[in-house]
Amino acid sequence: MVETEKIIEVVKRTKPFFRDREAVGNIRVKGLADYATQVDDGVQKFLAEELKKMYPDIGFLGEESYAGEQVSGRMWIVDPVDGTTNLIHHYRQSVVSVALASEGEIVLGIIYHPYTEELYCAEAGKGAYKNGVPIHVSHVKELSHSLIAVGTSPYYHEYAADNFAVFQKIFLQCEDIRRSGSAAFDLAHVAEGSTEAYFERNLKIWDYAAGLLLIREAGGDVTDYEGNPIRLTSTINNIVADNGHLGEEIRAIINE
């Protein structure tokens, strides 16, 4: 077992990294619309070192050091800055995402917004919380009354036409759509009931690991585009997260 409150305190200690404008401006290009900054590197190094000191037997998978390893045994899954493009542009929608996997299941998920100090946390079988207050997905059952978050898969321009065709179909059937630029934060919004659903193609495991548990513990559902449960055996997935009422309808629109 790990001590959740101590993990939360470690995650909160990443906040000063986001205030370092020089580090924010030190940018490394990894690929198409895919960047890392000294903030990404600094936060990951800090978390890796602190978690290793606390739990030396737990493995570590982080976005900035990923080398193709698979999730196995007990392992931390970390996105040090989910929303790096937002960070670079000083668009204050970036979060830290930390999950703990154990034997193929996420057992702890933490999403921390360093600008607003919103902290979402879920433990398997213990519910989901925002700053210590229980949260739950929304009870809206009609797409026409729903606010839907979308992700543009910015690293994969080859899917742009298909993605935006789906966005248009969803937009014409729901109340409105939103895009934050942070998959983890979009998942947190579904968990707390601010949005009814969120979907995006080709997400990496560090994008959704913490949010996966958060939504399930808040009463929602997360599947791939075909309706299959998300497995940690794959490090990339197409994700549909919803409040437990709209997933089937959204998947049908995606697959038309």
pLDDT in tens, 109-119: 999 999 999 99
**Residues present in the chain in total:** 256
Q: Please indicate, yes or no, whether residues 113 and 174 belong to a single structural domain of this protein.
A: no
Of 134, 154, 188, the domain-final residue: 134
Residue 33 pLDDT grade (very low, low, confident, very high; cuts 50, 70, 90): low
pLDDT value, residue 43: 97
Give me the number of domains the chain comprises.
2
| Mean pLDDT score of the chain | 95
Q: Please indicate, yes or no, whether residues 104 and 189 belong to a single structural domain of this protein.
A: no
Q: Which of 68-72, 76-80, 86-90, 215-219 has the lowest mean pLDDT?
A: 68-72
For 72-159, where are the alpha helices, taking DSSP H only? 84-88
| CA distances, 57 to each of 73, 122, 123, 169, 227 (Å) | 10, 22, 20, 48, 35
Whether the Cβ atoms of residue 146 and residue 246 lie closer than 8 Å to each other: yes
Q: Per 3-state DSSP, what percentage of the chain is helix, strand, and coil (rounded to 5)?
A: 35, 30, 35
Q: Please indicate, yes or no, whether residues 11 and 125 belong to a single structural domain of this protein.
A: yes
How far, in whole angstroms, is CA 252 from its chain's centroid? 23
Residue 24 pLDDT grade (very low, low, confident, very high; cuts 50, 70, 90): confident
Residue-number span of the structural domain to which 178 is assigned: 143-254
Model confidence over 161-216: pLDDT tens digits? 999 999 999 999 999 999 999 999 999 999 999 999 999 999 999 999 999 999 99
Q: Please indicate, yes or no, whether residues 118 and 225 belong to a single structural domain of this protein.
A: no
Task: Give the domain CATH number at 204.
Answer: 3.40.190.80
